[in-house]
Structure 1
């Protein structure tokens, strides 16, 4: 996995952590190196964070003493390194510190949920004006141009089909499920994914003879489900590995005559369809291209057609702050990605000549979905290691899943199923 690299003259090698975790500097250069200490920024991070952590419902353990406080436990194995990284790089440093093994938790999602729920208290208001000092601009190389989008999708979705199979259920569905009841066990996940897919297909009235366009194939489960209803499906993806496995699954189901899997950018979609479905694809489009995306959705509609969109959303001001910032997620997990706000979806849909007919949010179901994925991922550590993914990657992936779960549990994120039609119909 390739990540962006800060200057090697501005960092020092990190020693092994107490856990014995040694970071491969060739694969993870920015994790293997600690930023050179900037006394003022490190001291500010130490002062602000220690004061904030002492007030939160957390137990915090430092290398030099017993834990204090009440709540889930956050243990800083290397406090100096932790504060140095946060002082230099803010939330990117926070994530890289976890990847390096410099801090741990007894319940990672619980600790992150506390932090997410009290994010406004971590930095006092007067210091929030200094936020640009701790943030980085998004790299120009992550723009979702036709070439850039392929590169960004490749970095996440082409990691390995086998990797995703270690924590997804047998439907290989990588988006929020809709459960019958919460909490739910692993055994309920496949049915919950089918419930989610069926809701989307019902929204667009997919059935015998429906011409359906899917933007974002995944590993093919929605296309399979639509084709089994009798729909004629065209499905688009930029992931070569997903396309290959989706085609195999479709052939094995005997539905190849009803499903056309295309390695194709949404901007190059052709034809008119009775139904268009796009599940958690908008987050990979990038704000710069949302108007293009919604125009492509509209242009794909036949008269009287319907669009079902499943999208993760966040608060509008939070989205604006994130859009201007290179985050730990954009650096390591979803390059070029940005979660829209509900307002941004509505504004761009309206500008493209579409209107929202119905809108259902169910963020608690995504928290449950992510919880089950993370548990499964941890249970299959040996399999992940055997696939060639080292401890640093595994800590990164666990943090990504827990960080996302915390966002939904703290209600800083939501997920929505949105039905749209042409505005004049």
Structure 2
């Protein structure tokens, strides 16, 4: 393993970085002086108009009284301003995230800070500079495409990190998608029941019961398949995560359901047959816009006459989706390579083009914010256990930022999560 890189003069030294594993985090930003100056001017101009306080080693700059509003504004504490602005000047929001991974900035309330930024995402860059967006954003790398081989590689980089890792912060059902709580704000003790409520809602929407031939696209760790089998359904569940497939199959055997559930390592494009119901939970985000037509065509092809597909999908506004659809972001670089959150309009258009129509659509964005809060709090509590699994401080800061960033997106209503039912066009009346 390469030696840890000690930050040069001016950096904090809080987070030695393994240059072999994190080359772009270890490398000091190489933005030109003009780009760094522009980044500083843009960031400072934006933040001084928002309820945020900038704290540097030299001073504290509070938000304007009008912007700050009631209460205390969250802080953006810059340990290394030059590196922070240099990274943004070089790589935009990718640099913003890498700067956090490198310990160059912090906040005493990370979610509050990111929520403010998410609520004002369209105001952060002056309109004249938005036309120059291509000067600092990067195109998505071709190797992140979700071809049959590419999709397996992309999933391996996230879901195959370690089953033990995910077990540290998920609830005992090992469900890695939004729960639906009976009351908000939620408590950790209610998370498993809320995950079961979400699963049962989807199974009800798909009308899964005794004798139902059910296909699940995206196994996770098997909880939905287990609950469907308990209803008397015959379940075929597919995943392209080798780690999840092994874990889910073991859980299903232990539960005595192996005669009713088949867990296969298979891509959705390779499935054959017809099913009374198809359920897919937060899988569309990993498909990639290029392959959404294939995904919805598969749903239509796999549904038996009169069948129903129940989806749970994260969504974002259509204009934001278009702005990020070809952009290499911090999330796509470090967390979900090849992924893209669709808009409701994109889901509606692609489902209609595949011969499907949406007959039920309900959102649960506030529930996802609470789910993410509970995961993040547990993740931080289990920091030593995460480290013991071999995940270094840079990784832990990356995941803290990912969970906080996602939670902020739902709290700002920049993101939503929806449960939908799709049927063959011309069949099944609209839900009442």
Which TM-score applies when normalising by structure 2? 0.94
Partner of 1:204 in structure 2?
206
| Structure 2 match to 1:99 | 101
Is 1:61 aligned to 2:55, yes or no?
yes
Match of 1:195 among 178, 194, 197: 197
Structure 2 equivalent of residue 215 of structure 1: 217
Contact map agreement 2:10 2:80 (CA 8 A) in 1: no
Query: Residues of 2 paired with 1:27 and 1:230: CA distance?
Result: 47
Deviation at 1:173, TM superposition (A): 0.2
**Aligned positions of 1:108-127 closer than 5 A:** 108-127=110-129
Equivalent residues in 2 for 1:25-424 (5 A)? 25-66=19-60, 68-69=62-63, 70-424=72-426
Instruction: Report the secondary structure of 1:209's partner residue.
Output: coil
Measured against aligned partners, the alpha-carbon deviations of 1:181-205 in whole angstroms (never above 9, x if no partner) come to 1101100000000000000000011
The whole-number CA distance in structure 1 between the counterparts of 2:319 and 2:296 is 21
Segments of 4+ in structure 1 off by > 6 A? none
Cα deviation for residue 19 of structure 1 reads 5.6
Structure 1 residue 16 displacement after superposition = 8.2
Q: Deviations over 1:134-179 (max 9, x none)?
A: 1000000000000000000001000000110111000000000000
Give the whole-Å Cα distance in 1 for the aligned partners of 2:41 and 2:306. Answer: 60
- Listed one character per residue, the Cα deviations across residues 336-379 of structure 1 (whole Å, up to 9, x for unaligned) are 00000000000000000001001001101000000000000000
3-state DSSP of counterpart to 2:361: strand
Q: Distance in 1 between matches of 2:423 and 2:9?
A: 57
CA separation of 1:304 and 1:103: change in aligned 2, threshold 3 A: same
Deviations 1:65-98 (A, max 9, x none): 2353350111000001000000010000000000
CA contact (8 A) 1:14 1:32 kept: no
Once the two structures are superposed, what CA deviation does each residue of 1:395-416 show, in whole Å capped at 9, x if it has no partner? 0000000000011111110000
Q: Secondary structure at the match of 2:82?
A: helix
Q: C-alpha distance in 2, partners of 1:26/1:17?
A: 19
Selected match of 1:23 from 6, 17, 22: 17
1:17-44 deviation digits (Å, cap 9, x = unpaired): 4362111111100000022240111000
Structure 1 residue 59: Cα displacement:
1.7
Distance across 2 between alignment mates of 1:379 and 1:67: 31
Structure 1: runs of 5+ lacking an equivalent: 1-11
| Equivalent residue, structure 2, for 1:7 | none
SS of match in other structure, 2:138:
coil
- Given the superposition, is the C-alpha separation of residues 313 and 55 from structure 1 closer, same or farther in structure 2, using an over 3 Å criterion? same
- Provide the aligned C-alpha RMSD in A: 1.2
Separation in 2, partners of 1:297, 1:16? 54
TM-score normalised according to structure 1 size:
0.96
Which is further off, 34-43 or 293-302? 34-43
